[in-house]
Amino acid sequence: MSDYDFDLFVIGAGSGGVRAARVASGYGAKVAIAEESRVGGTCVIRGCVPKKLLVYGAHFAEDFEDASAYGWALPGEPTFSWKTLIANKDKEIDRLNGIYHKLLAGSNVTLFEHRATFKDAHTVVVDGKDVTAERILIAVGGHPTTPDIPGAEHAITSNEAFHLEEQPKRIVVVGGGYIAVEFAGIFAGLGSQVTQLYRSEQILRGFDNDIRNHLAEEIVKKGVDLRVNTNVTAITKQSDGTLKLTLTGGGEMEVDAIMFATGRAPNTKGLGLEQVGIDTKDNGAIKINKGLQTSVENIYAVGDVTDHVQLTPIAIKEGMAFADTIYGGKPSAMSYHAIPTAVFSQPPVGTVGLSEEEARAKGGEVVIYKSTFKPMRHTLSGRDEKTLMKLIVDKTTDVVLGAHMVGPDAAEIIQGIGIAVRMGATKAQFDQTVAVHPSAAEEFVTMRFPVGD
């Protein structure tokens, strides 16, 4: 009989923690999990899932506008209800939260709906009681941060954006990453006057430069007032409830809301890591080795709390790798090679593998294939939107190093392309693949002439 209450105790019931707990339990381990908020974590409760629902909602205005070109006559001017969208979104999140509860129960995982903190390397304190475990997995995720400027308390983050009682007529979104461009598109699509501010030269730092520049042009076409090299230095709440923003360079703006999407931090504060000597980075993220192990032998960490790759599918993969290795007898080393990812901007971005800049920085010669075209869906409506597709190919080996896209269905298309890139497919093999016609995806297998030829 074990000397511990559980074989595994998981702190945090988000995507990575829940997957690890269920898989470990399936292998016969006695597992418990603790969650101080709602089961499901950032992605399900206040991240990708509700965000994607809002993205869907934001598309309808353009669809209504384009409908007449396809023979549809609407009975009147369409109207939008923010309250209805948010209420229906909340119902779906409640449903998913319930499913996660059932999944844990069905997997024989004991759920503690309380905060868990460390007492020692094998003990956590939950609701004032000590609980022991042979191994502990930290999967507490992260949270959005706000800059330290005067009036920052008047701003919102993505957490609060999902629960606004009223849709802001004028909103400033500060930031240039995934979350910022996605919410700028959401609010603009739903009819708000949107200004996006970014302190650097161009949005989506780290992405292929052609993708960055193309998306910037497209979101401006859709009504977002994008201002780069610009930031907010102070926020003042006025007597009528509006906000006055002071910008770098001394300019001012008056808005109804300001949302910061300028970064996230790991949820390690107050966790008691110092009690057991777990090494952390300067920002509080937990340091791990290739086996997802912390500096304490029996304690592991997965997901955003490590500040490694902040993507839900990565947290899930890490959770599975941990459980397979420790409890399943199936050593599973994590690979972070050629991770497909999408930005649900409007239009969306899909990308996998190296950007042109990354490929060139590695020193080898590369060949670039690129195509820009009007999506077929816009040929009748006349909407001025262009799709960009790009391949980066190793000149010596002909291996496709990266694939990138801005345009409708980018996320759906890049998932399949990701398999090919991860397997090391060559440009010749792309060329040998029969195209699905008519489709945007076929462009990835029909680009024959490199840029410059």
Tell me the CATH number for domain 6-143+265-327.
Answer: 3.50.50.60
Query: Tell me: the pLDDT tens digits for 377-420?
Result: 999 999 999 999 999 999 999 999 999 999 999 999 999 999 99
Contact in structure between 144 and 157 (CB atoms under 8 Å): yes
Looking at residue 249, its pLDDT comes to 85
> Quick one: average pLDDT of 224-249?
97
Q: Is 3.10.20.90 the CATH number for 341-445?
A: no
**How large is the average pLDDT for residues 213-221?**
98
Res 452: pLDDT: 78
Q: Residue 337 catalytic?
A: no
What's this model's pTM, rounded to 2 decimal places?
A: 0.96
Q: Residue 53 contacts by C-beta under 8 Å, 6 or more apart in sequence?
A: 85, 88, 89, 92
Alpha-carbon distance of 332 to 319, in angstroms, equals 11
Instruction: Match 């308390």 to its residue by tokens.
Output: 153
Q: Supply the pLDDT for residue 453.
A: 61
Q: Is the pLDDT of residue 1 over 60?
A: no
For 300-356, the pLDDT digits (tens) are: 999 999 998 999 999 999 999 999 999 999 999 899 999 999 999 999 999 999 999
Domains 6-143+265-327 and 341-445 agree in fold: no
pLDDT surpasses 60 at 237: yes
**Helix residue ranges, H only, 339-424:** 356-361, 410-423
- Tokens 């670039």, residue? 368
The C-alpha torsion from 368 through 373 and 375 to 381, rounded to 10°, is 160
Q: In the CATH hierarchy, which fold is given to the domain comprising 152-262? A: FAD/NAD(P)-binding domain (3.50.50)
- Cα 324 to Cα 13, 88, 317, 331, distances in angstroms: 18, 37, 10, 6
Average pLDDT over residues 286-309: 96
Mean pLDDT of 80-107: 98
Confidence of residue 2 (pLDDT cuts 50, 70, 90): confident
Ordered by start, the domain boundaries in the chain are: 6-143+265-327, 152-262, 341-445
Averaged confidence pLDDT in the chain? 97
pLDDT tens-digit map of 25-52: 999 999 999 999 999 999 999 999 999 9
Residue 435 has pLDDT above 90, yes or no: yes
Which residue in 143, 163, 404, 437 is the catalytic one? 437
Q: DSSP per residue over 105-124, as a string?
A: HHTT-EEE-S-EEEEETTEE
